[in-house]
Amino acid sequence: MIRPAILKIAAAIIMAVPGGLGVSTANAAEKSTKPNIIFILADDLGLGNVGVYGGSFKTPNIDKLAGEGLRFSHCYSLPVCGPSRCLLMTGRYPFRTGLLDNSTWKTVETCPVNPQRDVMIQSVMKQAGYVTACVGKWGQICLGPGEWGFDEYLSYNGWGGGYWRKQIKQYTVNGRKTELLDDQYLPDIQHRFITDFVTKHQAEPFFLYYPMTHPHEPFLPTPDSSPGADTNRLYADNIEYMDKLVGQLMAELDRLHLREKTLVIFAGDNGTDRKLAEISTVNGRRLNGAKLTMDEGGSRVPLIANWPGVVPAGKVRNDLIDFSDFFTTFAELGGAKLPVGVKLDGRSFVPQLRGENGTPRDWVFVQMNNRGSTTKAYWYVRNQGFKLNEQGELFDMSEAPFVEKLVTNEPERRKLQAILDELNPGPSSIKERVTDLTAGRKGAAPKAKASPEPQ
């Protein structure tokens, strides 16, 4: 049971959007001017995994996307899947939503976020006239894509390794459980679903969220792998297959003559897997940190934007971007109204997408929790030159992502501390959120059950 106050908040949020969430108020003329948006999110893909970033892997299709579009050098996700995805879909930092770690939220009662009080970007886009789809990994946020407002979806619950039947037996298509057969490769099924979706909806604005399976471990041979490949080769094979799927999607958009009407965003959801950081170098150098760390390699990820005729071609920007920015950016592009009464943390980078300077953010914020704990949280705020963490350690970031140097610099410390003071991301804020969320529910305090899977 959810207490009346929470229902009131949810109702207020919904009422604040004309027509209510899920009901489009855009007319046909308005719809025709809205761009399609495709957000491709690779799983555990750091800078060192993409050729155009100086990475040690072959990614010709992604490199081409960047060559014909805009590449950001300083985009920050969170260090692990669930929180990163929740941040990008809600536009709110983890201490606000309560989703700070990668637990498996089995039920809505134990899940910090809830569609009755939290608004995700797909609902906002739908209200603006978009048809929405989610294709790929879900499972680290409670419920499913349908409950969270996607019109159509193909999803599987899991933390990684959704490739072949030996890893995953079933996936879900628009609420229907479907068997993955022995000879079927789930990433290819996902691609076919996407092809059908964009073909079917080519005449109306669509918002497609594509959280790809690749290249999260454990790795199995791809349909293109040679027999006997070792782990490092399999890793490269999986990155190359991911790249091939991106190329196939672009080919579909070309076939449908949709490229000029479609913004394609490609990003990684967190840094490279720790076990593979050694071989995921940038220009031959190893990054400091990897996935699940609070170092630069945990959260600094590839971000590429492509939209022929709108996004400038072949440019690189070093503006700071963080994962809260997608919500406001997509909403602005879609002419969507932002939910009223909800504190959003993002800043739209639409001006940069249009080739203007805009007003880039001065800092990014990154936070991660120890699993199931509301007290052991880690966070930092970072501007272009320095980074301050929850322990008060200040780092000179001039040699990042390779080196982060502990320094003393009082003016910089004060500047960053003032930002943290205003955010107040510590245990008191988190506890308040969790208590508020669970006060009216059966069973009181949430026992955040840790996932048996580490990532």
Enumerate binding residues for Ca ion (CB under 5 A): 43-44, 81, 269-270
Query: Is 44 or 243 the residue whose CB approaches Ca ion more closely?
Result: 44
- Rounded to whole angstroms, the Cα distance separating 68 from 306 reads 7
3-state secondary structure of 408: coil
**How far is 95 from 75, CA to CA, in rounded Å?**
20
Distance in Å, CB of 28 to Ca ion, minimum: 39
Q: How far is the CB of 14 from Ca ion (least distance, A)?
A: 31
Cβ closer to Ca ion: 98 or 298? 298
Closest distance of CB 140 from Ca ion, Å: 9
Residue number with CB closer to Ca ion (44 or 240)? 44
Task: List the Cα angle 234/157/445 in 5-degree steps.
Answer: 130
Closer residue to Ca ion in complex, CB, 81/135:
81
Q: Which residue number has the CB closest to Ca ion?
A: 81
Round to whole Å and give the CA distance between 277 and 288. Answer: 9
The strand order across the sheet containing 364-369 reads: 364-369, 377-382, 386-389, 394-396, 405-406
Nearer CB in complex with Ca ion: 46/129: 46
Rounded to a whole number of angstroms, the minimum distance from the CB of residue 44 to Ca ion is: 4
Please name every residue paired with 315 in a beta bridge, in sequence order, or none if there are none. 70
Q: Which is nearer to Ca ion, 209 or 307 (CB)?
A: 209
Beta bridge partners, 320, equal 74, 361
- In terms of residues, how long is the chain? 455
CB of 315 to Ca ion, least distance (A): 27
Task: Work out how close the CB of 110 gets to Ca ion at its nearest, in angstroms, rounded to a whole number.
Answer: 21
Nearer to Ca ion, 269 or 322 (CB): 269
DSSP per-residue letters across 205-238 = -EEEEEE--TTPSSP---TTPPTT--HHHHHHHH
Are the C-beta atoms of 265 and 305 separated by less than 8 Å? Answer: yes
**Inter-residue contact 352 to 319 (CB < 8 Å):** yes
Beta bridge partners of 136: 155
CB of 80 to Ca ion, least distance (A): 6
**Nearest residue (CB) to Ca ion, 49 versus 352:** 49
Could you tell me which residues come within 8 angstroms of residue 449 by beta carbon, excluding any fewer than 6 positions away? 103, 104, 106, 110, 372
What is the distance between the alpha carbons of residues 236 and 239, in angstroms, rounded to a whole number? Answer: 5
Q: What is the smallest separation between the CB atom of 102 and Ca ion, expressed in angstroms?
A: 9
For 190, the token pair is 């996902």
Q: Pairing between strand 70-76 and 206-211?
A: unpaired
* Residue 401, preceding peptide bond in cis (omega within 30° of 0): yes
- As measured in angstroms, the least distance from the Cβ of 43 to Ca ion is 4
CB nearer to Ca ion: pick between 292 and 394: 292
The smaller minimum CB distance to Ca ion, of residues 35 and 268, is found at: 268
| Exposed e or buried b per residue across 144-175, where buried means at least 16 C-beta atoms within 10 angstroms of its C-beta | bbbebbbbbbbbbebbbbbbbeebbeebbeee
The minimum distance between CB 81 and Ca ion, in angstroms, equals 4
Rounded to whole angstroms, the Cα distance separating 169 from 187 reads 14
Provide the β-strand partners of residue 210.
40
Of 123 and 367, the one with the shorter C-beta distance to Ca ion is 367
Residue 132 to residues 31, 36, 135, 205, 211, Cα–Cα distance (Å): 14, 10, 10, 9, 14
CB of 381 to Ca ion, least distance (A): 22
